[in-house]
């Protein structure tokens, strides 16, 4: 009997962990918003891209605390999509260079302070306009 109770307890604990993980993921997603930043890459160091926003697009970017910054830093992950010339074809991230005009799609907290954090890129398009 005790073996059956132990297996039941382990099963219940695993179900609780799974449900907790799903709820945490939804909570994180609910407290973030998708942002789109257009600007110029000013530096690339240790796979971190620093982008200076194009001031004409700041109002449409996302949370207001992001619009008061001089630059934002981004790091790609395994799911980041990188699109090349005019956003038409998928390319390798190594094709991005300092001076490229880019559009970055990322998620940022709805409320908060810009504290020098490095945001994760969801998608980046480069050479979206001719320079």
Is residue 105 in a domain? yes
> Does residue 24 sit in the same domain as residue 74?
no
Q: How far apart are CA 101 and CA 18, in angstroms?
A: 42
> Does residue 39 sit in the same domain as residue 101?
yes
> Helices marked H in the chain — which ranges?
2-30, 64-67
Is residue 87 in a domain? yes
CA angle 54, 82, 108 (to 5 degrees): 55
105 pLDDT exceeds 70?
A: yes
Is residue 131 in a domain? no
> Does residue 15 sit in the same domain as residue 62?
no
> Does residue 84 sit in the same domain as residue 107?
yes
Q: Mind listing the pLDDT tens digit for each residue in 10-36? A: 889 999 898 888 887 777 666 778 888
65 pLDDT exceeds 70?
A: no
Taking residues 43-56, report their average pLDDT: 86
Is residue 48 in a domain? yes
| Containing structural domain, residue 49 | 33-126
pLDDT of 131? 47
> Does residue 43 sit in the same domain as residue 14?
no
Q: What is the CATH number of the domain that holds 55?
A: 2.40.50.320
Binning pLDDT at 50, 70 and 90, where does residue 87 land? Answer: low
Q: How far apart are CA 8 and CA 112, in angstroms?
A: 42
Binning pLDDT at 50, 70 and 90, where does residue 104 land? Answer: confident
Q: How far apart are CA 73 and CA 44, in angstroms?
A: 9
Q: Does the predicted model carry a pTM greater than 0.85?
A: no
């Amino acid at each position: 009997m005790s073996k059956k109770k132990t297996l039941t307890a382990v099963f219940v604990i695993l179900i609780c962990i799974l449900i907790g993980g799903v709820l945490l993921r939804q909570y994180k997603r609910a407290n973030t918003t998708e942002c789109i930043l257009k600007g110029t890459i000013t530096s690339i160091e240790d796979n971190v891209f620093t982008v200076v926003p194009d001031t004409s697009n700041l109002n449409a970017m996302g949370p207001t605390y992001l619009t008061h910054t001089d630059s934002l830093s981004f790091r790609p992950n395994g799911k980041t999509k990188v699109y090349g010339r005019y956003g038409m074809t998928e390319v390798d991230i190594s094709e991005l260079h300092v001076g490229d005009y880019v559009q970055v799609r990322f998620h940022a907290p709805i409320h908060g302070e810009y504290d020098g954090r490095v945001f994760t890129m969801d998608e980046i398009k480069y050479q979206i306009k001719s320079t």
